[in-house]
Amino acid sequence: MTFLLSFIVLVVVNTSGNKYYWKHILLPDVPWWLYPIMIPVEIIGVVSKPFALMIRLYANISAGHIIVLSLISLIFIFKSIAIAPVSVAFVLFMDVLELLVGFLQAFIFTMLTALFIGTAVQEHH
């Protein structure tokens, strides 16, 4: 899902980019002898922005799942039902925290996507 979202961001940013956006990527304002270095760097930057969004969203959401699974596994590690109430209480707390982190990361994803689209369609002044 995060890959699909970041792919949509990549497509939308690059299709909505105006001529100034593409001029900055393909003909940056550097001396001509730096073009062999700068053009690949700019193209990598186009791909790496949505990739960074994807990794950030996926890692933050999956980290919460890993913590919840490790807290549940404490019951089996200690081989005792006595640890279950403590483990379940921590799991419920982590579920609420994970929900907050998920909403926050979705908000950050949306804001950065809007920023990337805004820089692609911004008129040159």
DSSP state of 29: S
pLDDT of 116: 93
pLDDT tens-digit series, residues 35-89: 899 989 989 999 999 999 999 989 988 998 999 999 999 989 998 888 999 999 9
pLDDT at 24: 85
Report the mean per-residue pLDDT for the chain: 91
Q: What is the mean pLDDT of residues 6-31?
A: 90
Residue 11: the pLDDT is: 95
pLDDT at 32: 87
Q: Which two tokens stand for residue 87?
A: 């483990």
Residue (of 87, 100, 125, 112) closest to 13 by Cα position: 112
Query: Which residue ranges make up each domain of the chain?
Result: 2-121
**Pairwise CA distance, residues 38 & 41, whole Å:** 5
The reported pLDDT for the residue numbered 110 is 94
User: What whole-number distance in Å separates Cα of residue 4 and Cα of residue 88?
Assistant: 33
